[in-house]
């Protein structure tokens, strides 16, 4: 693969994660006035409108089997993942959710191993995952070794990355169909919004416009809709198409690092030695997961050539 294209894929994944790492803060603020499903609906409605304005050409799928990929991706990557994550934020700490959902690369690697022929699980990924997970746990504890478990919220948070892993594998398959990335993302958003409608009615959707008069609510919704949804889903899906589901998902390890840094800057939360150690382990683990297999593969090629 062209090295310039690979570099573009890594940059797209990094930009996406830099933004996604701060979304927990925005969501936590919005939960004061909005229900979890309302945040999702407004967020992805804004995202859908923006994507339509940017690129309105529709996708023409060949058959229902191909359309089913988009339907499943919308259900898993938009409705279920974010609804589960937002509900988890009600029952447990944002730091817990941020840490737990960061194990998504492991679930993605396992699913990709069985469902994507070109992406097999390897020992180097497991080593990197182990280091990153240790770092993620240290960041979550933040120096407080009296772990406060919130069973319902933490269980939901564990379910979210499993659902995201399914979405990542589905998007890898969709990228192989060679549709325009923006159009493909918009189609996924459409089905995600469609699946949200029954949940909105069940939770008595609030149409009160006064909530939008608050500058903090409006700015955070726009941030989630324009940045974290419209922009980031396009960049992430493009990165998955270039790098693959496993390599791209490795960047999720960095989410807790960004969340902690953003919390320190915005919420003035204290950074402890455990946070710094966890950050180092997380970055090292993600580097090993991403780079080690390539190094070994190159070494084998050199040996064969000699």
pLDDT tens track for 234-257: 999 999 989 888 888 888 878 777
- pLDDT bin (cut points 50, 70, 90) of residue 306 is very low
Per DSSP, the residues of the chain read --HHHHHHHHHHHHHHHHHHTTHHHHHHHHTTTS-HHHHHHHHHHHHHHHHHHH--PPP--SSHHHHHHHHHHIIIIIIIHHHHHHHHHHHS-HHHHHHHGGGHHHHHHHHHHHH-TT----HHHHHHHHHHHHHHHHHHHTT--S----HHHHHHHHHHHHHHHHHHHHHHHHHTTT--HHHHHHHHHHHHHHHHHHHHHHTT----GGGGGSHHHHHHHHIIIIIIIIIHHHHHHHHHHHH-HHHHHGGGGGHHHHHHHHHHHHS-PPP-HHHHHHHHHHHHHHHHHHHHHHHHHHHHHHHHH-
Range with the poorest average pLDDT among 53-67, 192-206, 268-282 = 268-282
User: pTM (2 decimals)?
Assistant: 0.78
pLDDT of residue 295: 44
Range with the poorest average pLDDT among 14-18, 120-124, 301-305 = 301-305
pLDDT of residue 51: 95
**Whole-number mean pLDDT of the chain?**
82
Residue 51 half-sphere exposure toward CB, CA atoms < 13 A: 28
pLDDT of residue 270: 67
Length of the chain counted residue by residue? 306
Residues 289 and 238: their CA atoms lie apart, in Å, by 20
Range with the poorest average pLDDT among 26-40, 122-136, 175-189 = 122-136
Residues 98 and 125: their CA atoms lie apart, in Å, by 21
Contacts of 215 (CB under 8 A, 6+ apart): none
The single residue listed with the structure tokens 């955070």 is 220
pLDDT of residue 305: 46
| Average pLDDT for 56-72 | 93
* Tens-place pLDDT, residues 190-236: 999 999 998 888 877 777 788 888 999 999 999 999 999 999 999 99
- Judged against a pLDDT cut of 80, whether residue 140 lies above it is answered with no
Residues 162 and 241: their CA atoms lie apart, in Å, by 20
| Average pLDDT for 6-12 | 92
291: nearest Cα among 167, 127, 178: 127
- Judged against a pLDDT cut of 50, whether residue 299 lies above it is answered with no
- Judged against a pLDDT cut of 90, whether residue 156 lies above it is answered with no
The single residue listed with the structure tokens 């830099």 is 18
Higher pLDDT, 205 or 40: 40
């Amino acid at each position: 693969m062209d090295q310039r294209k690979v570099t573009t894929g890594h940059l797209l994944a990094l930009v996406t994660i830099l933004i996604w790492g701060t979304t927990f803060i925005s969501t936590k603020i919005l939960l004061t006035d909005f229900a979890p499903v309302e945040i999702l609906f407004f967020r992805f409605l804004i995202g859908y409108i923006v994507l339509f304005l940017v690129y309105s050409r529709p996708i023409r799928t060949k058959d229902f089997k191909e359309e089913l990929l988009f339907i499943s991706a919308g259900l898993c990557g938009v409705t279920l993942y974010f609804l589960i994550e937002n509900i988890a934020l009600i029952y447990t700490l944002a730091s817990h959710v941020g840490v737990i959902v960061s194990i998504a690369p492991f679930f993605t690697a396992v699913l990709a191993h069985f469902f994507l022929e070109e992406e097999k699980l390897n020992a180097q990924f497991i080593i990197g995952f182990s280091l990153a997970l240790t770092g993620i746990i240290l960041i979550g504890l933040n120096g407080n070794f009296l772990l406060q478990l919130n069973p319902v919220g933490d269980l939901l948070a564990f379910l979210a990355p499993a659902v995201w892993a399914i979405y990542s594998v589905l998007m890898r398959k969709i990228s192989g169909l060679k549709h325009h990335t923006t159009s493909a993302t918009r189609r996924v958003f459409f089905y995600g919004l469609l699946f949200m409608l029954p949940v909105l009615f069940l939770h008595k959707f609030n149409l009160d416009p006064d909530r939008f008069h608050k500058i903090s609510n409006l700015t955070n919704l726009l941030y989630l809709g324009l940045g974290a949804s419209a922009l980031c889903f396009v960049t992430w899906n493009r990165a998955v198409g270039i790098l693959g589901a496993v390599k791209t998902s490795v960047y999720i390890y960095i989410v807790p690092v960004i969340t902690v840094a953003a919390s320190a800057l915005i919420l003035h939360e204290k950074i402890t030695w455990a946070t710094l150690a966890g950050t180092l382990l997380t970055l090292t683990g993600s580097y090993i997961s991403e780079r080690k297999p390539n190094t070994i593969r190159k070494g084998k090629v050199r040996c064969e050539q000699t």
